[in-house]
Structure 1
Amino acid sequence: MTLIRARRCVTPAGEVPAAVRVRAGRIAAVEPFDADAGADDVVDLADDEVLLPGLVDTHVHVNDPGRAEWEGFPTATRAAAAGGVTTLIDMPLNSLPPTTDARALEIKRAAARGRCHVDVGFWGGAVPGNARELPALHRAGVFGFKCFLLDSGVAEFGCLRPAELEEHLAVIADLDSTMLCHAEDDAVIGRARGRDYPGFLASRPAEAETNAVELVIAAARRTSARAHVVHLSAAGSLPLLAAAQASGVRVTAETCPHYLVFHADDIPDGATAFKCCPPIRDAANRDALWQGLLDGTISMVVSDHSPCTPELKRPDFGAAWGGIAGLQVGLSAVWTAAHARGIPLTTVVRWMATAPAEFVGLRRKGRIAEGCDADLVAFAPDEESVVDARTLLHRNPVSAYHGLRLRGVVRTTWLRGEPVAERPRGELLERGTA
């Protein structure tokens, strides 16, 4: 048995002094700080550290197998642990084959098995022609399904047209599952070329998102399915989502650290490390996304970690791969911006640990409470550091956060009560089993 004492511990009751008793990988009790030890091992956190639940990141592109030179399970999960993430859910595209049937899911699991430093689950993919595959993927334990409403960027993962979206949503409603939607309207997206970020931003206007969000809401209303808008960038979609939620439509949304930290004027010409789709917008839009989180219209913050090789980040916003590598720095990035806005660490933990765990039904994750997995993080919220992409643990040294001074440092991450170390101990998760 291990006892971890912290003068500051983020629990469902708020931030309190506590002693967390760990037995067989689970939290056996959360006790007063000065509880009798009665343990084989006692860990006292430093006075400047806060004990947090391990983060749950439900939007990660590992790309393994098939494009493991972009990112692989060993590197992604080591980066996750270094950033305080103890559970991640892998997206179904960019790996080969994409996770669009049960056989592909088993190939993905075989690539991950024994190679993960944190716990890993999987999303299934919804693509043209595979509606009949969804029940088998659901039975095999995927946490839900991801679709694109426009070109995904990889030929093997096709996008759903409106009638196909409704067909798949009807199946998902019968399964009581969830559809994750990349919501952009191809009809209003232009073609970007060159080093100019304003030109790229203009090519993917806010209207592209609001149009697609309206489509998702209407389809979810007609089918009674659960729909979730991923990586929300355009704050103009917030009134649509709030009204739909108030009327009983089962629609939720997430946003990402890069939309909360950066804004368009931050981005130099040719700096394609910042390229993502949908794009990073202006400062007023960023402020409105924060308000959407505070009022609950947006329920959580996840990384959308989507790395690639340096060669694919050529300095042309039309040609470069669209994805930001931020898995390791998400907590510090969000905390830096939240602290500046007077938002407490407990709220950041709710957005990045508790809410994502609840979203995917991981009852033992995202909280420091009796019976939960002892996935824990010692976080020094006042220590500062400067991001150096060369020292980050994901596969390739490319990051939009390079050179940024961030507040908050992860000092130790425990997975089921043991510090994350070189030997992979992560488990492969299935829906309903954790």
Structure 2
Amino acid sequence: MRRYDTVVRAARAVVDGREQAVDVGVTDGRVVVVEPLGALEADGALVVLADDEVLVPGLVDTHVHVNEPGRTEWEGFASATRAAAAGGVTTIVDMPLNSVPATTTPDALAVKQRAARHQAFVDVGFWGGAVPENLGTGDLAALHEAGVFGFKCFLLDSGVEEFPPLDADRFGAAMHELAGLDALMIVHAESGDLIADLAHGPAYRPFLDSRPSAAEQRAIALVIDTARATGGRAHVVHLSAAEAVPALRAARADGVRVSVETCPHYLALDAAEVPDGGTDHKCCPPIRDAANRDRLWAALAEGVIDCVVTDHSPSTADLKALDTGDFAVAWGGIASLQLGLAVVWTAARERGHTLAEVVDWMATGPADLVGLADRGRIAVGARADLAVLAPDETFVVDPARLHHKNPVTPYAGRTLAGVVRRTYLAGEAVDLDAAPRGRLISRPRSQQ
């Protein structure tokens, strides 16, 4: 009889793109067998899910701003990874900006890794940054060799001075350099030329009008053209403008190496619902109208949008200008790492989508984006990173009960479906009261 460290018995589990009744055998932190329900004899621990629970793979969130070091009062590795685990996320990839120093050199990466080590409750990887100062210096190649999962750039002002944008020529040069490494470039794609100055005030409509869909369309056209010309790999982050979908669809059909993500707030929120002074809803690009949201859902269902990740971009409450509600000065970012699964599942099931689809968008898709083929799925050989979800249980969002460092969220008071009851990292339940067990991870060696 084969021995297992743990057998997880689930009458409902998302395996191979559908719900199945299975036993999952785990040894040394990995799934070693998936068999029909009741087929395995448990000589070690036996975990039996309740009738209202579903076993899903741990989510992979490839768009998280942890901000430590430098702006740790905004968020930090301990608080962010606690929130991740509480929300069923077992792997995050940290963005290179909003921390100080920005992750644009190997030395800066080492600083970030030292800050994260021994604080992480889930596994943490890192993006590098592509900025004018590190092009052609060897830093991109050195960061790639050090194991970053790819490189982030902005095509307009990033909002922080230590992470300047690339103009069209420098973006082309960076894409050419990264194409030689076969490294992924992820792009904040808005054109600053089409973004208007914003007058002070609490109304949302002027802010929305100041960042039109055309700004995304123009920037995405540049991304597509540059990826086509260089043969490089490009990924558009946080797509909000559905008008850009046809160009992305056509480019992919032509073999251009371009992928795209969207975020929970673009799928769940509607510009018409943003109240005056609701700066907790401010993000860039902005939340658009309900018709645009419907088209994003259609693109997601079609597969033109590859994945859904949070773009967890927190700040202190004062920077959100909650006291004045002034959209012109409020920090643009939404913190949702702990809530992403519930937000998307709540909206998805109302539209007739299955939990298996949500798993594909939020676990398998992001894992595949960064080459983590052994995560984001329940399969033989995969890491036993798992979450136990009660999909029909509801809860009301109380910001004070979230693990995010700052209790600011546009979902406050909303009723969401989907409660994560337990999260497993490498086969062991995550205990937020114990010492953290998350690891720092690098790009798989097969991609180096």
C-alpha distance in 1, partners of 2:37/2:303? 32
Q: CA deviation at 1:31?
A: 1.3
The answer to whether 1:104 aligns with 2:140 is no
The answer to whether 1:292 aligns with 2:296 is no
DSSP-derived class of the 1:187 partner: helix
Q: Which of residues 250, 253, 261 in structure 1 aligns to 2:257?
A: 250
Q: Which of residues 436, 443, 447 in structure 2 aligns to 1:424?
A: 436
Two-structure CA RMSD over aligned residues (Å): 0.9
Q: Which of residues 237, 240, 243 in structure 2 aligns to 1:236?
A: 243
Q: Which of residues 13, 20, 28 in structure 1 aligns to 2:24?
A: 20
Q: Which of residues 168, 173, 187 in structure 2 aligns to 1:167?
A: 173
What is the aligned partner in structure 1 of residue 13 from structure 2?
9
C-alpha distance in 2, partners of 1:242/1:30? 36
Residue deviations 1:360-413 (CA, integer Å, cap 9, x gap): 001211010111110000000111111011100010110111111101110000
Q: CA deviation at 1:14?
A: 1.9
DSSP-derived class of the 1:129 partner: helix
C-alpha distance in 1, partners of 2:143/2:37? 45
TM-score after normalising by structure 2: 0.96
Q: Report % sequence identity.
A: 58
Q: CA deviation at 1:433?
A: 5.1
What is the aligned partner in structure 2 of residue 382 from structure 1?
392
The count of aligned residue pairs is 434
Which one-letter code corresponds to 1:10 in the other structure?
A: V
Q: CA deviation at 1:36?
A: 3.4
Residue deviations 1:213-257 (CA, integer Å, cap 9, x gap): 001111111111000000000000000100100011101100000
What is the aligned partner in structure 1 of residue 191 from structure 2?
185
Q: Which of residues 185, 196, 209 in structure 1 aligns to 2:203?
A: 196
The answer to whether 1:302 aligns with 2:309 is yes
DSSP-derived class of the 2:133 partner: coil
The answer to whether 1:153 aligns with 2:159 is yes
Q: CA deviation at 1:89?
A: 0.2
Q: Which runs of 5+ in 1 are unaligned?
A: none
Which one-letter code corresponds to 1:69 in the other structure?
A: E
Q: CA deviation at 1:173?
A: 0.4
C-alpha distance in 2, partners of 1:278/1:327? 18
C-alpha distance in 2, partners of 1:313/1:380? 33
Structure 1 segments of 4+ aligned residues over 2 angstroms from their partners: 36-39
Q: CA deviation at 1:129?
A: 2.4
The equivalences for 1:268-279 within 5 A come to 268-279=275-286
Q: Which of residues 65, 70, 88 in structure 1 aligns to 2:69?
A: 65
Which one-letter code corresponds to 2:294 in the other structure?
A: D
Which one-letter code corresponds to 1:138 in the other structure?
A: H
Conservation of the 8 A alpha-carbon contact between 2:17 and 2:360: no
DSSP-derived class of the 1:70 partner: coil
DSSP-derived class of the 1:19 partner: strand
DSSP-derived class of the 1:370 partner: coil
C-alpha distance in 1, partners of 2:76/2:133? 28
Q: Which of residues 250, 268, 290 in structure 2 aligns to 1:261?
A: 268
Q: Which of residues 374, 398, 401 in structure 1 aligns to 2:408?
A: 398
Conservation of the 8 A alpha-carbon contact between 2:282 and 2:334: yes
C-alpha distance in 2, partners of 1:167/1:13? 40
What is the aligned partner in structure 1 of residue 320 from structure 2?
313
The answer to whether 1:343 aligns with 2:356 is no
C-alpha distance in 1, partners of 2:17/2:317? 44
C-alpha distance in 2, partners of 1:407/1:299? 23
Q: CA deviation at 1:38?
A: 3.0
DSSP-derived class of the 1:333 partner: helix
Conservation of the 8 A alpha-carbon contact between 2:397 and 2:414: yes
Q: CA deviation at 1:35?
A: 1.5
C-alpha distance in 2, partners of 1:20/1:237? 41
Residue deviations 1:41-61 (CA, integer Å, cap 9, x gap): 101000000000000000000
Which one-letter code corresponds to 2:263 in the other structure?
A: C
C-alpha distance in 2, partners of 1:36/1:244? 47
Conservation of the 8 A alpha-carbon contact between 2:17 and 2:357: no
Q: Which of residues 295, 314, 323 in structure 1 aligns to 2:333?
A: 323
C-alpha distance in 2, partners of 1:129/1:63? 21
Q: CA deviation at 1:39?
A: 2.4
Q: CA deviation at 1:13?
A: 4.9
Q: Which runs of 5+ in 2 are unaligned?
A: none
Pick closer, same or farther for the CA change 1:113–1:433 going to 2, 3 Å. Answer: farther
Pick closer, same or farther for the CA change 1:196–1:11 going to 2, 3 Å. Answer: same
